Amino acid sequence: MKHDNDHSIRCYSTSPFECSYLPKQSATNLVIDPSLALNDILLGALLDQGFRRSGGHIYRPNCTNCQACISTRVAVDKFTPNRSQRRCWRQNQDLSHSSSTTIFAEEQFELYRRYLTARHADSEMNNPTPEEYMGFLTSPGVKTQFHEFRLQDKLLAVSVVDHTSNGLSAVYTFFDPNQAQRSLGTFTILWMIELARRLNLPWVYLGYWIEACDKMRYKTRFTPCQGYIDENWRQI
């Protein structure tokens, strides 16, 4: 593939592996050369071509017989929350916000472990070590922020966000599993969209949407939502 400055970027295709989202399916990823030094401009350009970051790896699905995984982004200047989203926003105005850099924090890590145990107990991500946690969420050269949301002194949610030259990318969000009534996943996306608006950034990247997977279907509720389909961004 080519970058904007016409320098070639080497990509690799992984061997097939069991799909994490669709049963009885195998998957293959296209992975950017892991030796490539990342920065916010390069990451933004790769997000614009449907890629996503996981730790130090930049990848996008490259399955031969399946195109179910569609990279999504929200157009910040055109977004209008629906009635349910407006209610969620109002409900969480009692939360305070602060941000931190990519330094390990025990309080955040414990919330992350509680979240995985409650929501993804059967996942290979469950019961991580601190090294696995930081390795999954951070990468050298990338401007990543851990955005905390608290009710008084109690940490309720953390949204890990990459800040790039052309938008914000939602890396991962985890929250108190006992606070389901707050819809904190929805709230943190609304908060990211508002932050991007204040920073004059055009896009919020939400990762991959899979229509047949309940856990991945929520992303198109943030309209207008675009999907990267056949090497172009189209409204979905």
Q: Please, what's the b/e burial string for 70-92 (b: 16 or more CB within 10 A of its CB; e: otherwise)? A: bbbbbbbeebebeeebeebbeeb
C-alpha span between 221 and 88 (Å, rounded): 13
Q: Would you give the DSSP letter of residue 22?
A: S
- Looking at residue 4, its pLDDT comes to 45
The total of other beta-carbon atoms located within 10 Å of residue 191's CB is 21
Identify whether the C-beta of residue 150 lies closer than 8 Å to the C-beta of residue 96.
yes
- Looking at residue 187, its pLDDT comes to 98
- Looking at residue 120, its pLDDT comes to 74
Q: Would you give the DSSP letter of residue 25?
A: -
Packing angle between helix 106-119 and helix 130-137, nearest 10 degrees?
A: 90
**Domains of the chain by range and CATH?**
79-205 (3.40.630.30)
Q: How far is CA 148 from CA 24, 137, 145, 151, 155, in A?
A: 37, 15, 9, 10, 7
Strand partners, 160: 146, 172
- Chunk the chain into consecutive blocks of 10 residues (it has 236) and report each block's average pLDDT, rounded to whole numbers: 60 92 91 93 96 96 92 97 97 97 93 91 78 96 97 97 96 96 97 98 96 85 94 94
C-alpha span between 162 and 134 (Å, rounded): 14
